[in-house]
Amino acid sequence: MMAPTARVATATKDVLLNRQRRSRRRRLPLTTVAALTWLGALFTFALLQPTLPLPSPTAQNLLARLTPPWGFGGSITHLLGTDHLGRDLLARILAGTRISVSLALLGMLISALLGTSLGIVAGYRRGVFDQVVGFLIDFWLAVPFIAIAFVALTLFGTGMTVLIPLLGLSGWEQYARVTRANTMRVRQELYVLAAHGLGAHPARIVFQHVLPNQVAPLLVMATLHLTSLILLESSLSFLGIGVQPPTPSLGNLLGEARNYLQIAWWFPFFPGMTLILLTLAFNELGDWLRDVTDPAIRGRR
Amino acid sequence: MLRYTATRMIRAVLTIWLAVTAVFVGLRLSGDPAQALLGPEASSEAVHALRQAWGLDDPIALQYARYLWQIAHGDFGRSLRERRPATKVVHERLPATLQLGLTALGVATVLGITLGTLAAFHAGRLTDRIIVALAALGQGTPNFVLGLLLILVFAYYLRIVPTGGREQPTSLILPAVTLASFSTASLTRYTRSAVLEVLRADYVRTAYAKGLPFFRVLLDHIARNSALTLITVLGLQLAVAIAGAVITETIFAWPGIGRLLADAAELRDFPVVQYGVFLIVVSVVSVNLLTDLAYGLLDPRIREG
């Protein structure tokens, strides 16, 4: 038994630690607040875009082609100006954001599901399956994804039925690598061995013990993965092999704007800024999540 | 070291073989390879003739063996658009890509290592904060947005460089800056943390304590120990640079492989895409192999482990 003074000391330390932890949680860094606010506002408007009093993102008006934004010689009807077909740029940016972010979310979910299941099964079962998964991870890491994307898009053509699986296959290896290593570690823990000894089904062990142990790293990875998916989708759409017009995405807006750089600066500027701020905000959010959830780096930054 | 080298080389060859096989499988899965090779507009007679000529009605194992045989002999088919061997079409574009890629990689390496080291030595101070913020901006800015903004400012408003092409020596500036931005940013971040790590190490404190001058410590202790991390990161930059090169070359009408591949993918010119991708995979795998070997050479713990 512990001496009373030692017990008091431990208790005090616990209270202090708890208080420290709570205050750390309460005080968000200013950049994170800014990122969250921006993402919240952007997503709200992007989701509400069909109900907002804006022109339709696909409604052409050839008389109002390349109208400058409001305050630069344009009118308030087209706040951010219009594109080469007279479509409202603000409406197109909001609709494009909705499509780009939805595609990224979908790709992230597929990737995470695929990578996590493969990683957990490989780490839990080991053996031949683990070796195959390990080799596939190495292979996926060694081949630049753009190469895989080019071959797939050339063979199967462009369109959502190719684009979505493609996005879903980019980055599964990160999830698989981390969950595999984590599962191998957790599997050796005493409580898992005990559960196993009591005759618990592997599925039960996975959902009760293995999975909850990796929620934090998975969450961080998913947030940072969203950035790279948004960039991948917009790069492909920019090149004309991603989301096909007239459906707007942040990438193909910029691809269309490329031909009007000289006469309409707003056309590339606003979609470009939206994209930069979007990726910066997701990166900031991911970094913050990592700092909060990883005790090893906590307080180092 | 021999054993280590051998396993690494076998892995590299396996990776290339798997990539080639995946393309073969993809080609079969996509429906009729003859149709894919000739393009969607080909007549049914032409498709039939190609099926015969290629032996597409042979057993799949035989077809696979023949496919590997052709690739081993450098036969990647003829470009559908230009009616010339795909290898020729791609090779013509190599010099432009190498020029752009090597310039960008050089800029990124010099700038990234300098800025990263500078930031680490001033950790927490204003210099550090500015460099870290710039690096975050560089990593968060997609290179096609950066490229368009650079054209807007430097080519259209200031008119000091051309908007694209490869005719003048100044044409290289904007594409190189665009391509280098992301790698510079990530190299800066990695250098910063690698140097910070080493600076905290006991042997650096000891080196200072025994009175070694700053530059001795920098070269003998800090640079040597940070080099391990940096070699890995530099190797990884190649894959990033390839994806970036496709975009950058397209924006600046730079006549390199990246732009060729993007065009070929859009027009579904399969032989050209196949050979371009093959070259990319081979070069990335080779660089990874060299990185691994350099790593093993620098750190005995890795080759023994």
Provide the shortest C-alpha distance from residue A281 to chain B (in Å): 9
* Inter-chain residue contact A154 with B265, CB threshold 8 Å: yes
* Inter-chain residue contact B262 with A152, CB threshold 8 Å: no
CB contacts, 8 Å: A237 with chain B: none
* Inter-chain residue contact A142 with B288, CB threshold 8 Å: yes
* Inter-chain residue contact B27 with A261, CB threshold 8 Å: no
3-state SS class at B224? helix
Q: Which CA distances in Å does A188 have to A185, A204, A294, A296, B6? A: 6, 16, 21, 21, 33
Query: A144 burial class (0-12, 13-18, 19+ CB within 10 angstroms)?
Result: buried
How is residue A88 annotated by DSSP?
A: B
Query: Are residues B235 and B102 located together in one domain of the fold?
Result: yes
**To which residue do tokens 């609709």 refer?**
A95
In terms of Cα–Cα distance, which of B179, B98, B97, B111 is closest to B144?
B179
Question: Each residue's pLDDT tens digit in chain B (305 positions)?
Answer: 788 888 888 888 988 988 888 888 887 777 666 776 676 677 778 778 777 776 777 788 888 888 888 888 888 888 877 888 989 999 999 999 989 999 998 999 999 999 999 999 998 899 999 999 999 888 888 888 899 889 988 888 888 888 788 888 888 899 999 999 988 998 998 889 888 888 888 888 888 888 888 888 888 877 877 777 777 777 777 777 887 888 899 889 899 998 898 888 888 788 888 899 898 888 888 888 888 888 777 777 767 65
Name the residue type at position A48: L
What's the structural domain count of chain B?
2
Contact assessment for residue B242 and residue A144, using Cβ atoms and an 8 Å cutoff: yes
Query: Are residues B49 and B101 located together in one domain of the fold?
Result: no
Residue B264 lies in a domain: no
Provide the shortest C-alpha distance from residue B141 to chain A (in Å): 5
Query: Are residues B128 and B98 located together in one domain of the fold?
Result: yes
Query: Are residues B114 and B215 located together in one domain of the fold?
Result: yes
* Inter-chain residue contact A235 with B284, CB threshold 8 Å: no
Range of the structural domain that residue B229 is part of: 94-255
How far is residue B128's CA from residue B107's CA, in Å, rounded to a whole number? Answer: 20
CB contacts, 8 Å: B141 with chain A: 276, 279
Asked if the C-beta of B80 comes within 8 angstroms of chain A's C-beta atoms, the answer is no
ipTM over cut 0.85:
no
Query: Are residues B68 and B98 located together in one domain of the fold?
Result: no
How is residue A294 annotated by DSSP?
A: -
Asked if the C-beta of A250 comes within 8 angstroms of chain B's C-beta atoms, the answer is no
Residue B83 lies in a domain: no
* Inter-chain residue contact A268 with B148, CB threshold 8 Å: yes
Residue B274 lies in a domain: no
Final residue of a structural domain among B45, B77, B109: B77
Residue B285 lies in a domain: no
Query: Are residues B143 and B186 located together in one domain of the fold?
Result: yes
* Inter-chain residue contact B156 with A275, CB threshold 8 Å: no
3-state SS class at A155? helix
As separate numbers, helices (DSSP H) first and strands (DSSP E) second, chain A gives 12, 0
- The number of residues making up chain A comes to 301
Q: Which of B11, B148, B270 sits opposite A155 (nearest CB)?
A: B270
Q: Which of B23, B139, B247 sits opposite A151 (nearest CB)?
A: B23
Mean pLDDT of the A129-149 span: 86
Final residue of a structural domain among B77, B102, B136: B77
Contact assessment for residue B265 and residue B98, using Cβ atoms and an 8 Å cutoff: no
Q: Which of residues 157-216 of A touch B (CB under 8 A)?
A: 157
In terms of Cα–Cα distance, which of B196, B45, B216 is closest to B122?
B196
* Inter-chain residue contact A157 with B26, CB threshold 8 Å: no
In terms of Cα–Cα distance, which of A85, A27, A16, A21 is closest to A57?
A85
pTM of the model: 0.82
Residues ≥6 apart with Cβ < 8 Å to A210: A120, A124, A182, A183, A186, A187, A192
Residue B283 lies in a domain: no
Is the alpha carbon torsion for A255, A259, A261, A266 positive or negative?
A: negative
Query: Are residues B108 and B162 located together in one domain of the fold?
Result: yes
Domains, chain A, in order of start with CATH, read 46-299 (1.10.3720.10)
CATH of the domain at B226: 1.10.3720.10
User: pLDDT per residue over A77-111, tens digit each?
Assistant: 777 888 888 788 899 999 999 999 999 999 999 99
Query: Are residues B119 and B240 located together in one domain of the fold?
Result: yes
Residue B236 lies in a domain: yes
Residue B88 lies in a domain: no
Provide the shortest C-alpha distance from residue A15 to chain B (in Å): 30
Query: Are residues B98 and B221 located together in one domain of the fold?
Result: yes
How far is residue B259's CA from residue A15's CA, in Å, rounded to a whole number? Answer: 61
Query: Are residues B68 and B102 located together in one domain of the fold?
Result: no
Residue B15 lies in a domain: yes
Query: Are residues B67 and B167 located together in one domain of the fold?
Result: no
Query: Are residues B251 and B102 located together in one domain of the fold?
Result: yes
Asked if the C-beta of B186 comes within 8 angstroms of chain A's C-beta atoms, the answer is no
How far is residue A82's CA from residue A72's CA, in Å, rounded to a whole number? Answer: 12
**To which residue do tokens 């080298």 refer?**
B5
Provide the shortest C-alpha distance from residue A149 to chain B (in Å): 9
